[in-house]
Every structure is written in structure tokens, then in C-alpha cells.
A and B are shown apart, each in its own frame.
Chain A
């Protein structure tokens, strides 16, 4: 997963729900140095009894925001969604010659 174009990750899930597995895997995919290089990760844990679905909010460096309902997605789908925009940004950056 391409994380270098992300600036902000907001994630909310109930750890006791099986549907929150992709949320937890997404958190474990963020590289160890990402937080040090300016990525803000905010995790909110819901109480055990809550039925609220897991959500993921992303902000990219170009200002695009993305809100995903991740309780019905697989981790590969989430990565695909995130990477689709990240790849565009990567191409732009490459063409700009940086």
C-alpha cells in the first residue's frame, strides 16, 4: 500500500466485531516511520456493545478526502481504493520531475 501521499488517517471501529478486522489490518499496514514523517493517525475504539460500522477517513496531500465504510470491505479492496488515488499522485509527481 502506498502511504507516502497520506496526511491524515481517522479510523473508528469496535474491536469485538469480526467486521473490524480490515480496520485493524489497515492500521498494521502503516509503516513504522509514517507517523514521524507527518502522518496523523487517530484511532477511536468503540465500546463492545456498539453496533456502529467501522469507518475510515483519509486525507491526501493534494487535499482529497476519502471516507470508506470498511466493515463491508476486504483489506484488498481498501488497499485498491487508497492506491488508486495514490498512484495518480505518484504519476503527477513523476511528471513534474521531482
Chain B
């Protein structure tokens, strides 16, 4: 009996058409597309906007950016650039408990000063930003050299067209730097150029002799003698800046805190790029009323000078005026007399 389903051997065969029998409908020359389209007319008359080859916040650095060293270097650079007043201390084997005690006392004293300033209606409260920070001495020294000696002139954005210029293809300002640290145009502190500038051993900083051994710093966001006074009286008490009395602040006289303070040595300060020893720092701390006080003194002095000067100038003018006026009166009298005489004639 033949099978019910009729077998069709041609349908079972694998479909592999012979190239000669392809249907003609697939190859229309008019439908063929070019693989590379012609560039738009804009691109042929203007340059293509540059492409940023790296994340904007991470320009290529000389040293590997992921290691702790590099990040500390960057952090110290920004600290040195942003704080005009830095105190340098040496810490000799301070224990963790003692360091904790010292930090606590410092924070409390600063917060107290903050509250005083608030009640006086003054602004600029820095208590949260001033703290004792232990630093890696070598990295700090290196970043200080970068801050002092690396002065990048020119900006990576100098070439860029202004975003409001209608000829500008994009308003995004993109630096025209390559993705390699060799590029000379980088201006950040971790660039190879910065490293080269800082590794010139002929250049010396004033702070160099201080930067050895175990160091800690206290950085201030502004030169504020009031805060400096408090910090010095807590960390390095002296005659001018006595430590708080035992009755006022018994915690400060705990043995742990005092033992820690014995091991903390005040070495010097960096005030707006200049280096002061401990006496110089005390002098800065002794400025009454801070920058406002200095300004008031200056204004007072200038006002006195101005008043004197005005008096002197005015005196000359007045005497001249008096002379001229008297002469005028005199002439008027004569003229008046002449007229009268004419009338009478």
C-alpha cells in the first residue's frame, strides 16, 4: 500500500540554488547603498569639534592615579592652595587615646569660640574646618613643591571658540588635550609637567628644613587670629597664649591629654605663602580683632591723614579765595564809586 502522505523528494532536498539562477529582482543598481556616506557640507568647511578622550574630572596623571600616594598628593595640594594659614607640629609617638583627647579638646574650644562669634553677630565660623591632621611628610613636601613651583600659564581651553559664537559647532568647551600624560598642555597638579617642575632640586622652599620626621598640621580656611589664638593656647600653650585653667576646663588637664601635649611640638607656620617660626605665629595670633581690626586701624590712620591733607589744601584755597574776594570787593567799590561820580556829573 502506498503511504498516505505523498512524498515530494524535491521539497526535502536542501535549498541551495545555483548562482546562475538567482532571481533578477535582487540586484537593482539604483537601490545599491554606498558604505561611506559623503560627509556633511559643514564638516568640510569647518573643523570637527574636539572629542574629550578622558573623564573631565580625571585628566591623565604622571603617577598611577589609583594609588593612595597619588590621591594624598592631590589632597595635600588642594589643602595647601585653599588654606592660607597652616601650623606645623611634630608628633613624637603620641598614642591613639592621647591624640583623641587632644582632638576632642581642640574641637570643644573651637566650638566655644564659634558660639561666641554667633552671639556677637559675626560670620565666618571655622570650627568644623580646623582640625589636627597627621600627614605623610614626604608626600606633603612634594605637593608643597608643586604648589610653589608649578605655575601653569595658559589654559587648555584657550583654543576653543566661544560657545556663543555662531560658527561654533558645539557649545561644550572641550580641552584639546590627548589622552597621554606626556601632553604639555595639562595644567593640573598631578600632570607630568607639574612633576617635572617640582623635581627640580635646585629650587628650595623655605619650609624644606621643617619637612622631615613625623608631622601633623592644623590648616585654617582663612587667616583668623582669633582661631589661631585658640588653637595655639590648646596645642602649644605659652605665656602669651595660656592654656585654659583647670577650673574652667578640667578635661583639658586629664593625664592622657597632657601626656599627648608633651609629645606635640610646634615647629612653625606657613601664612599666605610665607614661613614663620613659633614667635612669628604668636605675633599673627596676637593681632587684635583679626583682619577687621587691622582694617579699622588702617582706616583710622588714613582718615587722620586725609583730614590733615584736606585742611592743608583747603587752607591754601581759602586764602586765595579771600584774596580774590577782597580784590573783587575793592574793584566793585571803585567801579561803584566811578558810576556814582558819573551820575553826579
Contacts and interface: CB of A to CB of B under 8 A. Distances in A.
B277 A24 contact: no
Interface of A: 15-18, 20-21, 24-25, 27-28, 30-32, 35-36, 41, 43, 45, 47-48
B93 A28 contact: yes
A41 B262 contact: yes
Contacts of A48: 268, 277, 279-280
Interface string B127-145: 0000000000000000000
B93 A15 contact: no
Given A15-B267, A16-B268, A27-B265, A32 B209 contact: no
A27 B95 CA distance: 15
The 10 closest A-B pairs by CB, nearest first: A48-B277, A32-B93, A15-B267, A28-B92, A24-B213, A18-B209, A27-B92, A32-B95, A16-B209, A28-B213
Contact of A16 (B263, B265, B266, B277): B277
Contact of B90 (A28, A31, A47): A28
Contacts of B280: 48
Given A45-B265, A47-B279, A30 B210 contact: no
B259 interface: yes
Given A15-B268, A30-B93, A36-B259, A45 B278 contact: yes
Given A15-B267, A15-B277, A25 B213 contact: yes
A63 to B, nearest CB: 24
B263 A35 contact: yes
Contacts of A30: 92-93
B93 A31 contact: yes
Contacts of A32: 93-95, 263
Nearest to B210: A15
Given A35-B259, A45-B277, 10 more contacts: A15-B277, A17-B209, A21-B213, A24-B90, A27-B90, A27-B92, A43-B265, A45-B267, A47-B279, A48-B280
